[in-house]
Structure 1
């Protein structure tokens, strides 16, 4: 039953990617950015609703009071595609993401993502990518957009750790904008590279914003990594069969 429900949800997800992604990829370049962002936010919200309805997989958010009213840099744990959908639904719509360049080549999803003007990372040219992150990140932060980064750079299996890249911490150090750490246990229910979406409740925890003033990029990165990993370790990890 879990497999069947997961297939049905993936079908729904694929259809919505096309229905939302195609218009955004065509008209997103000429429509107001806030409007396009709100459309993509709605895509995230209906997918969370469908995930609950079809797969019985819901979520709860802890630390909502920590969401700042002003611009910040989000550093989030990366375990599955769930957090991509969820952060798009929950965070302010005017949000610039840092993504690997290859994602823009994915039909419909990547095309729509390109219209949302992300900051792209070329893994074959780390030095140039870092410079682009620092320059474009500052530009968009000063324009009032949040910046969302997955510092691990790739999805990491639940229960395992990956080196945290310092790009987001360096951006905070350079610009002075606060860092908002986010932890969750989505990988327990929506495993990396697994079709199945197990029923239950994912917990997403929003940490207190970290003021980068008087901190080095190394110290910012260390504090964020410690908080995220310690928080994730305390979240429920059920044995799914």
Structure 2
């Protein structure tokens, strides 16, 4: 499917993405003065635009199952599989103020990283081992207590569709430590937006959101297993995103 048309459509998308990122990045110093909650609402149109622009230019649509399972009055921890950049744009559109647990290098990216800082993420050094886990637990609970949601990718990196990677314990340890409910989320975005791929394949991404489950009385290992098993089972049931 690597036709010249796909490259042209992808190029149009990248132009829109880069232009919108620079635009919001230029205003990031002003966003810092607004505070994290207002900054988050101000930046949110960036995600809406780029999801819409991807549909217009590349024909990538999506279908959400279980959106009603997100109880906005019962904030918690979103744990999702990680296949592409797409889900990092969609998830914020589903929630109020959200803090992401991410590698600190992302905050160094010109324009994008500057705007990202305004949303009060939990930026960690993944090489610091146990210290990073403690940061996730303590800062994560602080953000939740402040009224934010937390979003994490237990796999730690983007994984190709059809492949599996061990789930790291940081997300489950945060859930065990904080006591906040976990909302599992599964998707197959990597079929339309493959990792390290310039082109985007037209199709319909499926997103499935599970009912929140209480972590009371559960160990981090049990939480990790429940999330992984649910996500993997949901992905198996999903129709192909890209028609062959």
Aligned to 2:127: 124
Match of 2:199 among 188, 193, 196: 196
Deviation track 1:59-112 (CA, whole Å, cap 9, x = no partner) reads 1110011102221001011000000111122222x1100001111111111111
Look up the match of 1:226: 229
Provide the alpha-carbon RMSD of the alignment: 1.3
Aligned twin of 1:85: 89
Mapped pair 1:31 → 2:34:
yes
Deviation at 1:238?
Answer: 5.8
SS of the residue corresponding to residue 45 of structure 1 reads: helix
C-alpha distance in structure 1 between counterparts of 2:37 and 2:207, whole Å: 25
How many residue pairs match? The answer is: 239
Q: Is the 8 A contact 1:137 1:171 kept in 2?
A: yes
Select 2:10's aligned residue among 6, 10, 14: 6
User: How much has 1:240 moved relative to structure 2?
Assistant: 7.0
* Equivalence map 1:1-241=2 (5 Å): 1-24=5-28, 26-69=29-72, 70-92=74-96, 94-237=97-240
User: 2:32 & 2:106 partners in 1: Cα distance?
Assistant: 18
Question: Runs of 5+ in structure 2 lacking a partner?
Answer: none
d(CA) in 2 for partners of 1:210, 1:2: 41
Three-state SS of the structure 1 residue aligned to 2:88 is: helix
SS at match of 1:86: helix
Residue 169 of structure 1, CA deviation = 1.0
Task: Please say if residues 120 and 129 of structure 1, whose CA atoms lie closer than 8 Å, have aligned partners that are also in contact.
Answer: no
Shift of 1:190: 0.5
Asked if the contact 2:203/2:243 (under 8 Å) is kept, the reply is no
Unaligned runs of 5+ in 1: none
**Do the aligned partners of 1:75 and 1:181 also contact (CA within 8 Å) in 2?**
yes
In 2, the alpha carbon distance for the partners of 1:164 and 1:61 equals 24
